[in-house]
Structure 1
Amino acid sequence: MSHRLFVAHRPPPAIREALIATMHSLPGARWQDDAQLHLTLRFIGEIDAGQAEGLAAELDRVRAAPFPLAIESVGHFEKKRKPHTLWAGVTASQPLAVLQGRIERACRKAGLAPETRRFATHITLARLNSASASPAGFIAAHAALTSEPWTLDNFDLVESHLESAGARYETICRYRLSAS
């Protein structure tokens, strides 16, 4: 049996509620719901059960001290020069880069191919398609989007179940960070 996995951090409820409050005024956008809001630290994709177990064990060896994060911007990614994903930007920091690098090394030790895409610190707000309105107005209206800092003190191994209503995420393992 295969599993579609990724490694992520879920912001606390107050941050997710603030993001959800921005989710309007963009016709055709497929907004994320509360259960889908996360900061992806590493996309894994489809792997078999044995490899998933090995990955879970390697991720359990990742060590890092907790550190602050905050929302600092909004923007969009493009695919073939068309807006595809609307996002809230998360503060890039040295501790976040270190954690993401350690997660990447754990993935390689578990036998996964290296990630070739640049790590972009963001939380997806909506998926866009050709029927969606331009995100320019939304981005301009929310250009000053920021949040109070919160502490990243855990990350999750998450399984994505693709269903007709959209992706449903299930936390497989939670890993706590500590200063020691």
Structure 2
Amino acid sequence: MRLFIGIEVPQFPKLIELLELVKNTGADIKLVEPFNIHITLLFLGEVRDDRVEDVKEAMSGLKFDKFTVTLKGLGAFPNLTRPRVIWVGMIEGQQQLRQIRSYLLNELLRRKIRPEDEKEFTPHLTIGRVKSLNSINNLISLINENINIDVGNFEVANVILFKSTLTPKGPIYDKLFEVKAIDRGGSSKANKAV
């Protein structure tokens, strides 16, 4: 089955507004459904059914405090001259996401499970994928106008193993396993992944 480890992102007004702005550029882009927007920590790709328990075991030792992710700015991969992926950036929470990802990656590799994206990690939210260069200049203008837009923030309280089923209408994500943040009876400044 097709798996990834990620973090759910709530649907808040500014994010929905940004999706609408991107849609209204007329660019040939496949937007991510608001309820499917997430932060991908590791994309595992196809994993045999008999290895899913190993993935859960790799995740089960993860310990982290709740932390805040602050979203800011619109951008594109690989660059603005030939955008393929449209994303929202983040200015707070990156360090904690990298620590969590690093822990999970090490645990997966110890179990001989090799994620497809083990090399690079730039924390972001993918909100759309460019299908062709039609009306691309409108999209590039919109990104330039919103390069520093404040989008909002949310609290990360769990890390989830998702099963991704591809359908003609878009992917369907099912939660298979979840690791909750340590409950310390209040927010903690020591946001560390062990």
Q: Please indicate the TM-score interval, normalised by the length of the shorter structure.
A: 0.7 to 0.9
2:159 is aligned, of 143, 155, 158, to 155
Amino acid at match of 2:149: L
User: Which runs of 5 or more structure 2 residues have no equivalent in the other structure?
Assistant: 185-194
Tell me the SS of whatever aligns to 1:57: helix
**Equivalent residue number for residue 128 of structure 2:** 126
Counterpart Cα distance in 1 of 2:54 and 2:98: 23
Match of 2:45, SS state, is: strand
Structure 1 residue 132 displacement after superposition: 4.0
Amino acid at match of 1:5: L
| CA displacement 1:41-90 (0-9 Å, x = unmatched) | 111000101111110121011111221111022111139x7321100012
Report the Cα offset of residue 110 of structure 1: 3.0
Matches within 5 A, 1:34-49: 34-49=34-49
Superposition map of 1:85-164 within 5 A: 85-91=85-91, 93-113=94-114, 115-134=117-136, 135-164=139-168
Moved more, 110-119 or 168-177: 110-119
1:174 aligns with 2:178: yes
Q: Distance in 1 between matches of 2:105 and 2:97?
A: 12
Contact map agreement 2:11 2:35 (CA 8 A) in 1:
no
CA-atom RMSD, angstroms?
2.0
- 1:18-29 aligned at under 5 Å gives the runs 18-23=14-19, 24-27=23-26, 28-29=28-29
Aligned partner of 1:12 in structure 2 is 10
TM-score scaled by length of structure 1 = 0.87
Q: Which amino acid aligns with 1:125?
A: I
Aligned to 1:32: 32
SS in 2 for 1:104: helix
Q: Distance in 2 between matches of 1:165 and 1:142?
A: 29
Choose between structure 1 and 2: higher strand proportion: 1
4+ runs of 1 displaced by more than 6 Å? none
Question: What percentage of residue pairs aligned between the two structures are identical?
Answer: 19
Secondary structure at 2:84's aligned position in 1? Answer: strand
Task: Give the letter for the 2:11 counterpart.
Answer: P
- Kept in 2: contact 1:4–1:159 (CA 8 A): yes
Deviations 1:9-47 (A, max 9, x none): 012232xx4212112323211111122100001110001
- 2:52 alignment counterpart: 52
Is contact 2:65–2:183 with CA below 8 Å preserved after alignment? yes
Runs of at least 5 residues in structure 1 that lack an aligned partner in the other structure: none
